[in-house]
Structure 1
Amino acid sequence: MGDTLLDRYEALLFDLDGTVYHGTRPIPGAADAVAHVRERGRAVRFVTNNAAKSPEAVADHLGQVGVPATPAEVSTSAQAAAVLLGERLPAGAVVLVVGTESLEAEVRSVGLRPTREHSRDVAAVVQGHSPHTCWSDLAEACLAVRDGALWVACNGDATLPAERGQLPGNGSMVAALRTATGRDPEVAGKPEAHLLRTAADSAGAANALVVGDRLDTDIAGAAAAGYRSLAVLTGVVTPRQLLDAAPGERPDYLAADLGVLPRDVSAADLAIGPRPGWEIELHDGVATVGTDGASTADRVDLLRHLCHVAWSSPVSAVRARDAVADEALASWDLH
């Protein structure tokens, strides 16, 4: 067996919802995977676009789903936005906050002065999700942005997951302010590079692996930051989306779940590329899949192989050549 993922990287940057847990439900195997990463001496960071919760609250939630974590291991888009503001503004500058008290605390932690009302002293606006944001909050921010204040959005997520379904996220509120001002904010969270780089820097890691379930945030963010990425199939991404992924949203590695980490699987075995046990012929956009007679043919390997083919030449349809391939394709819903 070749070197494992943990042999190659100094830190693992884990997305949360869809990767480690689903809301209040832990994803099976995630706790053991994180524990194993720590046992191997690799740094762990939990990286979230959620700007509404403090690192302490995120760490507490992780503990409740069976993944012990310290606040120092949590990197939020609110922290990244505050760091960005601290780099761009002089100490003591006034920042108008649209978001929670946790975001306000992050602004204060980098030596800036938060406010909720516009005045001529406001140097910047920082905008993060809060369920209590209302028209008057956006109105104050609108005035500041129109007057030339630096505008930083914690993230541009149009929706956020909830038990009732997808609800309006920070990006939806950002869109309202964009319409009102005609300006675009600087974005601190994924898929921009700042949040992931801040997380890696906090771990002292020069090379980090981003682990997540969304191509448009986790994987695209890794590409923007110059890091390798592992996509897991426990959350949002579907096999069809993987085949159709744009160049900036293509993971380097693919796994069904985090359970591959404690097994110390070879990094080469998780990489996108041709896989033993499968044969794929491509003609006029149709990929025909069959087995090569091997005794076992892993279906995740099939998806790794299909991604390799599709990223070289578009695949519009996938067909099975034998019963084993038919069963694997049925499980991925790629017929």
Structure 2
Amino acid sequence: MSGTLREEHDALLLDLDGTVYAGQDVVPGALAALTGSAQRLLYVTNNASRTPSAVAAHLTELGLPTTAADVVTSAQSAARLLGERLEPRAAVLVVGAPALVEEISAVGLVPVRGSEPTPAAVVQGHSPDTGWTALAEATVAIRAGAVWVATNTDLTLPSARGLLPGNGSLVAAVRCATGQEPLVAGKPARPLMEDALDRSGATAPLVVGDRLDTDIAGARAVGARSLLVLTGVSTPMELLRAPEEQRPDLVAADLGGLDRAAQELAIDHVDGWSVHVDGSTLVLACDDGAADPVAGLRAACRPAWDDPGWTVLRAEGAGAESALRSWGIDPG
């Protein structure tokens, strides 16, 4: 297929959780969209709980043949940040999974789980096994002057069962206990995106993800074009309320959007839809009951962003009412 979005780019920097898979299950449409892609595919994840080889094995099992070199994790970026700041063989208290321990060792630092030897730094990443004792050790070390790096600060983590507490929720506990702010490796901070761009060697990358506050903000932080897919965390209402630093260039229902023309996915006027702000009401109008609700969402973004004083949504016409229902909003 010619003239598609993917063909305008030489690399796709893809989020994983909520974009390609949710827990152990592939997101509908992801296999068809990514299989056989001519672009370099790099999977860029804030999740520091699995090694790149484990992530690659999971993707391969799902039907997307992948190597460890195709996976860029926040654990790798966190380890790089510490390697640049500490002396070789410095002790680093690891609050996180064994995968994070491996990355700390790989940059010539010594991972520890307790107070001996005295940690020069603390690195905190997601692990479902993290408990109070580990957070207490981190608090003591940070208050004593240890460098603190968080792999990411995502408050939630998508799963097949819904949203679960993410690393950011536990980082918040340590922040409250120490009064300190960590250096952040993962999206939306620059280090992970910079590492992914460096590894891709791309001149025209496209960042693809499901979260405005991480994937899209991360793309904007490094000046990359971005595509939001509505298969994970961020909702249509959150998109309409997005601050400037979280606004995507393109929006699609899922990864199938890669095979559509870029102009069809752009935040702009969309034929058949009329959107305006009337006082405190964002009015979405479309009479075609079979109209694409995501097209309506794209049409609504610019008016919603340009006049953020609205507080309620109103639908006019069968198409607009159907769109609001698909966004989980009662059209009244």
TM-score (norm. length: structure 2): 0.90
Once the two structures are superposed, residues 125-169 of structure 1 have per-residue CA deviations (whole angstroms, 9 ceiling, x without a partner) of 111122332333233322321221211011112333445554433
How far off its partner does 1:318 sit? 3.3
What residue in structure 2 maps to residue 52 of structure 1? 49
The one-letter code sitting in structure 1 at the alignment partner of 2:294 is V
- Range 67-76 or range 7-16, more displaced: 7-16
What residue in structure 2 maps to residue 251 of structure 1? 248
What residue in structure 1 maps to residue 305 of structure 2? 311
Once the two structures are superposed, residues 230-269 of structure 1 have per-residue CA deviations (whole angstroms, 9 ceiling, x without a partner) of 11111122211111111111111000111122x3x22122
**Conserved in 2, the CA contact under 8 Å of 1:272 and 1:308?**
yes
The one-letter code sitting in structure 2 at the alignment partner of 1:90 is E
What residue in structure 1 maps to residue 124 of structure 2? 127
Q: Aligned partners of 1:213, 1:86: CA distance in 2, in Å? A: 30
The one-letter code sitting in structure 1 at the alignment partner of 2:301 is C
DSSP 3-state at the match of 1:114? strand
The one-letter code sitting in structure 2 at the alignment partner of 1:15 is D
Backbone CA RMSD of aligned residues: 2.4
What residue in structure 2 maps to residue 231 of structure 1? 228
Residues 170 and 36 of structure 1, relative CA distance in 2, 3 Å threshold: same
TM-score (norm. length: structure 1): 0.89
Q: Identity of aligned pairs, percent?
A: 53
1:211 is aligned to 2:205 = no
1:90 is aligned to 2:75 = no
Q: Aligned partners of 1:279, 1:177: CA distance in 2, in Å? A: 47
The one-letter code sitting in structure 1 at the alignment partner of 2:170 is M
What residue in structure 2 maps to residue 108 of structure 1? 105
Q: Aligned partners of 1:222, 1:296: CA distance in 2, in Å? A: 33
- Range 109-118 or range 270-279, more displaced: 109-118
1:174 is aligned to 2:171 = yes
Q: Aligned partners of 1:2, 1:207: CA distance in 2, in Å? A: 17
Q: Aligned partners of 1:127, 1:101: CA distance in 2, in Å? A: 12
2:151 paired residue among 154, 157, 162:
154
Residues 129 and 291 of structure 1, relative CA distance in 2, 3 Å threshold: closer
What residue in structure 2 maps to residue 329 of structure 1? 324
**Conserved in 2, the CA contact under 8 Å of 1:11 and 1:200?**
no
Structure 2 alignment gaps of length 5 or more: none
How far off its partner does 1:81 sit? 0.4
Number of paired residues?
329
How far off its partner does 1:175 sit? 2.2
Q: Aligned partners of 1:94, 1:331: CA distance in 2, in Å? A: 51
The one-letter code sitting in structure 2 at the alignment partner of 1:13 is L
**Conserved in 2, the CA contact under 8 Å of 1:213 and 1:232?**
yes
